[in-house]
Structure 1
Amino acid sequence: MIMDVTIYHNPDCGTSRNTLEMIRNAGIEPIVIEYLKDPPSREELVRMISDAGLTVRQAIREKGTPYLELGLDNLDLTDDQLLDAMLKDPILINRPFVVTPMGTRLSRPSEVVLDILPETHKGAFAKEDGEQVLDAEGKRIV
């Protein structure tokens, strides 16, 4: 299956690794952008957040980041201020964002990516923790 898929990936993140492998299980080799090394532009970040149906605040990662130290929990901060912080310190961008012709998702949990992939999965798939996501026919386990 030829499909342009881009994943904004952090190889140290289990959710991101699981998402990447689910994309590959669909027979797609995505464009992998390690966003900590190569962050998206402001325009790309705004578009991904909007296309995923999220608010800027929903796209911020709190865990394992300087979120609290930077005072980003202040609800008076504007979207522009939050975006500035995310672009200055990309660890604040939640992950993994996946962009396909079928849509854009913040794939948390990782199986959310299945909503924007064709049903071309090559058999069963389990996450790193052993949780089964796809059955032997490549169908989603609900």
Structure 2
Amino acid sequence: MNAVIYHNPRCGTSRNTLALIRHAGIEPEVIEYLADPPDRSRLVDLITAAGLGVRDAIRQKGTPYLELGLDDATLSDDDLLDAMLANPILINRPFVQTDMGTRLCRPSDVVLQILPPITRPFTKEDGEVVG
């Protein structure tokens, strides 16, 4: 199975998601999106394929979300995308794409929806057991 994760190694949710993918026996393509952000078309494709609206794909915590005025409900999707592309830290993570679909994997075990069934339990960094 093919898999791609838009990953931030400093994020526990992203690390757990990557570990779950590997636990399922899949070595994904890892894109550290802060260093190598998706272009506009790719970002729109990820958001759409995950069944989200643009605003749902914006990360607020630990970002310049408020400083940039992105809480303004009158901003268009294009405005929000412009901000995300100019400041990739605003892209919520991790997005994962496999042959079975695309998800924003928050929480990390959402990735199980687009992986083959795992046959043994997995323990997250915080000790929570999945599977």
TM-score (norm 2): 0.98
User: Which of 53, 58, 61 is 2:59 aligned to?
Assistant: 61
Q: SS in structure 2 opposite 1:104?
A: strand
Q: Once superposed, what is the RMSD of the aligned Cα atoms?
A: 0.7
Larger Rg: 1
User: Which of 103, 110, 113 is 1:112 aligned to?
Assistant: 110
User: Which of 87, 90, 95 is 1:89 aligned to?
Assistant: 87
What is the letter of the counterpart of residue 26 of structure 1? A
1-structure distance, mates of 2:5, 2:56: 18
Tell me the CA shift for residue 122 of structure 1.
5.2
Structure 1: segments with no counterpart, 5+ residues: 135-142
User: Which of 126, 129, 134 is 2:126 aligned to?
Assistant: 129
Structure 1 residues 8-87: aligned runs within 5 Å: 8-87=6-85
Higher relative contact order (CA 8 A, sep 6+): 2
2-structure distance, mates of 1:41, 1:118: 29
Structure 2: segments with no counterpart, 5+ residues: none
Percent identity over paired residues? 70
Q: SS in structure 1 opposite 2:103?
A: strand
1-structure distance, mates of 2:34, 2:53: 21
2-structure distance, mates of 1:90, 1:24: 25
User: Which of 2, 5, 9 is 1:4 aligned to?
Assistant: 2
TM-score (norm 1): 0.91
Q: Which residue of structure 2 lines up, in the alignment, with residue 98 of structure 1? A: 96
CA contact (8 A) 1:35 1:90 kept: yes
Q: SS in structure 2 opposite 1:8?
A: strand
* Count of residues in Structure 1 that have an aligned counterpart in Structure 2: 131
Q: Which 4+ residue blocks in structure 1 deviate beyond 6 angstroms? A: none
2-structure distance, mates of 1:36, 1:7: 12
